[in-house]
Structure 1
Amino acid sequence: MAKRKNNACTANTTGATVGYEAQLWQVADALRGSMDAAEYKHVVLGLIFLKYISDAFEEQYAKLEADRAQGADQEDPDEYQADNIFWVPKEAR
């Protein structure tokens, strides 16, 4: 049976990492400062919620853009609220 090579660079060759994860982690630690992890979860949950709102809005925006010929308006808040999606104003996108 052939032995498998031990390749220490496997994580870097898969494309899964781009090299700045450690730097982002350090920045996140600096931003967190002396805040306890139990308190930090409130910040993180808020950011996750904002990401969910953004993703849902972008998906609906793309659908409305595709349905433009049928009279859909991407800038009408009612188009989003009808599907229970938060309206994100242009300034906040």
Structure 2
Amino acid sequence: MFIQSEKFVENHQGKLGDIAVYRQESNPTTWRLCKMNLAIRGIDSNLGGEHADTFHKDLHKSLKADYILANPPFNISDWGGNRLLDDARWNFGIPPEGNANYAWIQHMISKLTPSGSAGFVLSNGSMSTGPA
């Protein structure tokens, strides 16, 4: 997704220096690969100083972004939602403990500036989970 963003900026007469990438990753191998991939391409990035769980250790607490592109992990059931019932990110209700999809959406919304936009990929059934 980052590489496609780079191509989009370049194809629309933008400069690569006009974008900055902020990311957080809990998997240490994925975190290192992402850091390396962005460095090789010269993309300005802040992945936090370590790999960490986005919900329980937000490394970008004060971040407000104009644009967010994300592909969070689908249908995570053991995301620890029961420990985050009073979280300030849940402006649209507490996400279900058994599925993190709505937690991801609210997390991204909480990171947007007032005029910001977000685009994200979720699993096919994300908009129809729960009883009919």
TM range (shorter): under 0.3
Q: Which has the larger radius of gyration?
A: 1
Give the TM-score normalised by the residue count of structure 1: 0.28
Q: Which has the higher contact order (CA 8 A, sep 6+)?
A: 2
Normalising by structure 2, we get a TM-score of 0.21
Structure 1 or 2: more strand by fraction = 2
More helix by share: 1
